[in-house]
Structure 1
Amino acid sequence: MSIEKKDLARHIVTSYAGPKIRIMEVCGTHTHEIFRYGIRQLLPPAVDLISGPGCPVCVTPPGFIDEAIYLALEKGAVICTFGDLIRVPGSAQSLADARSRGAAVQVVYSQLDAVKYAAAHRDKEVVFLSVGFETTTPGACLAVLQARDEGITNFSLLTANKTMPQAYEALKDSADAFLYPGHVQAIMGTEICEKLKADGISGVVTGFTARELLTALAVVLTEFPKGKPFFKNCYPRVVTAAGSVSGQKLLSQVMEACDTEWRGLGVIPQSGLTLRPEFAAYDARVKFAVPPMDGRSNPACRCGDILRGDCRPPQCPLFGKVCTPEHPVGACMVSREGACSAYYQYGGLTL
Structure 2
Amino acid sequence: MEEQKKRTAREIIENYDGPAVRIMEVCGTHTHEIFRLGIRKLLPKQVELISGPGCPVCVTPVSFIDEAIYLALEKQVTICTFGDLVRVPGSQMSLAGAREKGAKIHIVYSPADAERYAKDHPEEQVTFLSVGFETTTPAGCLSVKQAKEDGISNYSLLVANKTMPGAYEALKGSADVFLYPGHVNAITGTELCEELVKEGVSGVVAGFTAKELLTALAVALVRFQEGKPFFVNCYPRVVTREGSREAQRLVNELMEGCDSEWRGLGIIPGSGMQLREEWEAYDARKKYNMPKIEGKANPACRCGDVLQGKCKPSDCKVFGKVCTPQHPVGACMVSGEGACSAYYMYDTRG
Answer yes or no: is the 8 Å Cα contact 2:112–2:139 preserved in 1: yes
Which segments of 5 or more consecutive residues in structure 2 lack a partner in the other structure?
none
CA distance in 1, matches of 2:239, 2:302: 34
Q: Which string of whole-angstrom CA distances, capped at 9 and with x for unpartnered residues, describes residues 211-253 of structure 1?
A: 1111111111111122221000000011111111101111101
**Which residue of the partner structure matches residue 350 of structure 1?**
349
- Per the TM alignment, residue 168 of structure 1 is displaced from its structure 2 partner at its CA by 0.9
Match of 1:168 in 2: 168
1:152 equivalent in structure 2: 152
Q: How does 1:288-307 map to 2 (within 5 A)?
A: 288-307=288-307
**Count of residues in Structure 1 that have an aligned counterpart in Structure 2:** 349
Please give the secondary structure, in 1, of the residue aligned with 2:314: helix
- For residues 67 and 101 of structure 1, do their structure 2 counterparts lie closer, same or farther at Cα, with a shift above 3 Å needed? same
Is residue 2:63 matched to residue 1:63?
yes
Distance 1:7 1:287 in 2: 59
**Aligned mates of 2:13, 2:168 — CA distance in 1:** 24
Which residue identity is paired with 1:203?
G
Residue equivalent to 2:43: 43
Q: Distance in 2 between matches of 1:6 and 1:134?
A: 36
Give the CA deviation at 1:140.
0.2
1:123 CA drift (Å): 1.4
Give the aligned residue type for 1:279: W
Aligned partners of 2:323 and 2:264: how far apart in 1? 18
- Maintained 8 Å contact 2:122/2:154: yes
The CA distance in 1 between the partners of 2:22 and 2:4, in whole Å, is 28
Alignment deviations for residues 160-218 of structure 1 (CA, whole Å, 9 cap, x no partner): 00011110110112111100011110111111111111222110001001111111111
SS in structure 1 opposite 2:129?
strand
Alignment of 1:117-156 (within 5 A): 117-156=117-156
When normalised by structure 2's length, the TM-score is 0.98
> 2:182 maps to what in 1?
182
CA RMSD of superposed structures (Å): 1.4
Is the Cα–Cα contact under 8 Å of residues 4 and 12 in structure 2 kept in the other structure? no
Q: Determine the C-alpha separation between the residues in 2 that align with 1:5 and 1:193.
A: 24
CA distance in 1, matches of 2:277, 2:332: 33
CA contact (8 A) 2:29 2:337 kept: yes
Q: Any idea what the Cα deviations from partners look like across 1:296-344, whole Å, max 9, x if unmatched?
A: 1100011111011111011111111111111111100000110010011
- In structure 1, distance between residues paired with 2:229 and 2:260: 28
Using the TM superposition, give the Cα deviation of residue 6 of structure 1 relative to its aligned residue in structure 2, in angstroms. 8.7
Deviation at 1:4, TM superposition (A): 11
Q: Give the drift of 1:19.
A: 1.2
Task: Report the Cα distance in structure 2 between the residues aligned to 1:244 and 1:69, rounded to whole angstroms.
Answer: 35
**Aligned match of 2:327:** 327
Q: In the aligned structure 2, how far is the partner of 1:182 from the partner of 1:104?
A: 35
CA apart distance, 1:5: 6.9
Alpha-carbon distance between aligned partners in 1 of 2:176 and 2:289, rounded to the nearest angstrom: 43
Q: Unaligned stretches of 5+ in structure 1?
A: none
Structure 1 segments, 4+ long, off by >6 Å, are 2-6
Determine the structure 2 residue equivalent to 1:254.
Answer: 254
Residue of structure 1 in register with 2:10 after alignment: 10
Q: Name the amino acid aligned to 2:169.
A: E
Percent sequence identity is 67
Going from structure 1 to structure 2, the CA distance change for 1:247 and 1:302 (only over 3 Å counts) comes to: same
Other-structure match for 2:310: 310
